[in-house]
Amino acid sequence: MADFTYVWTAEGWLYVAAVMDLYSRRIVGWPMQASMTSQLVTDAPMMALHRRGRPREVLHHSDQGSQHTSEQFQMLLADAGIVCSMSKRGDCWDNAAMESFFSTLKAERLSRRIYRSRDECRAEVFDYIERFYNARRQHSTLGYVSPMQFEAAAC
């Protein structure tokens, strides 16, 4: 599942795209950049592919935003053998897990301060995802273990 959000910094907006593995709720791709482009959302599954390897029988779900419907993005999915799934227009519930992740990221870490630079904010997002969310944050959906613990127990 994929989506993107934005965070205000003293330098302007920082856009954060993310790909979540719904099986474990692990964030497996999270590129960030200063502008909202189709390249940003294309970089998210590319990062996930780099980290997780080439998938078998994977469904990639997102909304119907112009970035996700772009030719570049659709070609990436097709080339990787990933089936594209998209929400109906105006149906935010289809993407609820990603909306929940971004809400949690902002509530637990990002909303408490104004970042002096995009780089400072990037470091904070990275730290939250890699050192806390994936490694230690417990999820009720996973039986109150972290995404990494859930994956380790499944092996």
**Range with the poorest average pLDDT among 24-33, 79-88, 140-149:** 79-88
Q: Is the pLDDT of residue 68 over 80?
A: no
Give the integer Cα–Cα distance in Å for 84 and 103: 24
Model-level pTM? Answer: 0.88
- Looking at the DSSP bridge assignments, the partners of residue 120 are none
In contact, 40 and 4? CB cutoff 8 Å: yes
How confident is the model at residue 155, as a pLDDT? 76
In contact, 6 and 36? CB cutoff 8 Å: yes
How confident is the model at residue 92, as a pLDDT? 57
Residue range 78-115, pLDDT digits in tens: 888 887 777 666 655 577 888 999 999 999 999 988 89
DSSP three-state, residue 28: strand
**119-132: average pLDDT:** 98
Give the integer Cα–Cα distance in Å for 28 and 1: 10
Q: Which CATH superfamily is domain 2-119 in?
A: Ribonuclease H-like superfamily/Ribonuclease H (3.30.420.10)
Residue boundaries of the structural domains of the chain:
2-119
